[in-house]
Structure 1
């Protein structure tokens, strides 16, 4: 009698457990619909759009940091000249995301080395785990990853933002050069996660277009300046790899600019900029005009960081400039690629990209910004 009761209770518990697993599996399957067939080698409307749960915002040195999460989802991680699809794992609980911006200007800072530590009741779930620098259609530039938690409860989350390695100029020249940490208390429940907004886009998926940026109170979205708002003289726009390149000439480099030998720099495996220098002196840092190239996505004007852009300026058949452009962060020019270069009316400006941008992509961006051909423009008056 007691044995039958025990077996019945065990069977009921197992049935409930399996039902819970099936429910979770069905939820994840529903929120990871089939990929769009015949995806273009360009930006396209993904199979679905999703929302997120806001944890909160916190100060961290020069930065403000927002912490959000959504359900785990697939994304594509940059690995040099190829992209590795990251599938949802059975242990994944959430897709954790951070947005970092300058507290004074509200400008999003594309830092590729943000890390997080998550604990609950003395148990550590991640310790100094790097988050991938990412690009999504509704959030723009952020950092995130699929992470495992320990079920419902209250978690302590620390987000560390290291110094920005891109050269900084203008009002940014003496900023973002120290490690900063933001602390959060995150209440998590599976039921709240399952209520996060989700919508299939079957009537639009695959179109050559992009979703609108998410509207978030107090949390900015990274945007490159509109062409008409760029300082200096706009030389023109051109497109390659479905990225838009807006080129401009300033009569002198931005304040605090210092040019180093081999100024262009590149990126390491996590998308962090290398090379170039952060100016810290007054004045223009050198003679000559300044060539700036803003590389951005079509439709939403998100800046595309973490790559190498090279420029060649040809005049009367001779190259008067041929070098990499340094990754640079400026409050007026935004995140751009720049160098001192003599650019005059009638010159031919040719741009080329080395390895694809070392930034992970959410669905809808994974087939764009991969293969680049040289692209040129003739500099007007």
Structure 2
């Protein structure tokens, strides 16, 4: 989508938070009388699982921050988990929380959701008065995939202005992304908020599926892409192996004589969630490639973005041959906050080992 077309689409959404999710499920409203969030399943698997419920979203508006397209959504305030040194930490809804604000950033040309590793700044104002300057968490959700979000207390019904300040993209920019996103600037989005409107957002509970392994489908939004990486069949190069670790799927591909790297070959590891192929940024990965008992590569895999590979971890290598022993080591598990259904996965992640095809 060209910038002019994107801005026209954003204008169609407008400042009023009335544009919702495409193809939404039919559900009841989540009013205070309906009881809020259901109780968590006690015996949850150490894997991706169906949550107790699903919430819809309202589109507040869209804008541009340099080369980055910006979407702002909101839903009910809800629990989530942050990553701490000893594991996960549950964040419960505070009495004053009104909404869960969510930000998605993407490249309009390739319709690819982009992670900003240094985080996103957010300023919420009403009538020129600052309501909040709390920065949202880097998050993973079964509804939205990769995004930035947190629970926020607002100042009643009215017109709000949200200034989104994307941080820098520290991942390597390869191919068509080289030279882009260097000066993102800020996006200013104005929207009308009313609690009565918020309470019409669909809310669905899952009595039979909750707590069982699996995942909800990603929820498409009008004029905004969902955060996925290419499936196996669409990865460039030659897929030389795959495996799982901590319930994450790993695909490894090798691109010979890459135009974007000064090397004979480029090795890319693409970790993603099961079921929906959502990328897993904020990891630390390294790899060893052995041939006839000798290491032909032993080093880090750096986070990178490429229009055809999406978000991945890669390194320039001399090549990978059939029969090579490949080990991908997870040095750091994903440090993203997680919505319900992901908080028990991607925590204990042993090495992924395979023999190259």
TM score, norm. by length of structure 1: 0.83
Where structure 1 has 5 or more consecutive residues not aligned to the other structure, the ranges are 1-24, 256-283
Residue 320 of structure 1, CA deviation: 1.9
**Matched residues in 1 for 2:214 and 2:64: separation?**
35
Cα shift readout 1:152-174 (whole Å, capped 9, x = no counterpart): 11111111112211111000011
**Matched residues in 2 for 1:232 and 1:74: separation?**
41
Residue 81 of structure 1, CA deviation: 5.2
SS in 2 for 1:64: strand
Q: Number of aligned pairs? A: 326
Provide the residue aligned with 1:146 in structure 2.
Answer: 151
**Matched residues in 1 for 2:289 and 2:31: separation?**
56
The 8 Å contact of residues 263 and 317 in structure 2, kept in 1 or not, is answered as no
Match of 2:173 among 168, 171, 175: 168
SS in 1 for 2:282: coil
Match of 2:329 among 352, 360, 366: 352
Moved more, 243-252 or 30-39: 30-39
Residue 79 of structure 1, CA deviation: 2.2
Provide the residue aligned with 2:194 in structure 1.
Answer: 189
Residue 341 of structure 1, CA deviation: 2.0
Where structure 2 has 5 or more consecutive residues not aligned to the other structure, the ranges are 1-29
Match of 1:131 among 100, 119, 136: 136
The 8 Å contact of residues 53 and 196 in structure 1, kept in 2 or not, is answered as yes
Structure 1 residues 59 and 179, CA, compared in 2 at 3 Å: closer, same or farther? Answer: closer
The structure having more radius of gyration, on CA atoms, is: 1
Match of 1:364 among 338, 341, 349: 341
**Matched residues in 2 for 1:57 and 1:287: separation?**
40
TM score, norm. by length of structure 2: 0.88
Cα shift readout 1:42-64 (whole Å, capped 9, x = no counterpart): 00000000001111111221011
Provide the residue aligned with 1:58 in structure 2.
Answer: 63
Provide the residue aligned with 1:377 in structure 2.
Answer: 354
**Matched residues in 1 for 2:338 and 2:273: separation?**
12
Cα shift readout 1:217-256 (whole Å, capped 9, x = no counterpart): 111101110101111111121001000010001113452x
Runs of 4+ in 1 over 6 A off after TM superposition: none
SS in 1 for 2:112: coil
**Matched residues in 2 for 1:157 and 1:166: separation?**
26
Match of 2:295 among 309, 316, 319: 319
Residue 31 of structure 1, CA deviation: 2.3
Structure 1 residues 28 and 105, CA, compared in 2 at 3 Å: closer, same or farther? Answer: farther
Does residue 1:122 correspond to 2:112, yes or no?
no
The 8 Å contact of residues 243 and 298 in structure 1, kept in 2 or not, is answered as yes
The 8 Å contact of residues 31 and 198 in structure 1, kept in 2 or not, is answered as no
Provide the residue aligned with 2:275 in structure 1.
Answer: 299
**Matched residues in 2 for 1:368 and 1:29: separation?**
29
Does residue 1:100 correspond to 2:133, yes or no?
no
The 8 Å contact of residues 156 and 194 in structure 2, kept in 1 or not, is answered as yes
The 8 Å contact of residues 162 and 178 in structure 1, kept in 2 or not, is answered as no
Provide the residue aligned with 1:71 in structure 2.
Answer: 76
**Matched residues in 2 for 1:240 and 1:50: separation?**
29
Match of 2:43 among 38, 42, 59: 38
Provide the residue aligned with 2:229 in structure 1.
Answer: 224
**Matched residues in 2 for 1:174 and 1:335: separation?**
16
**Matched residues in 2 for 1:63 and 1:28: separation?**
40
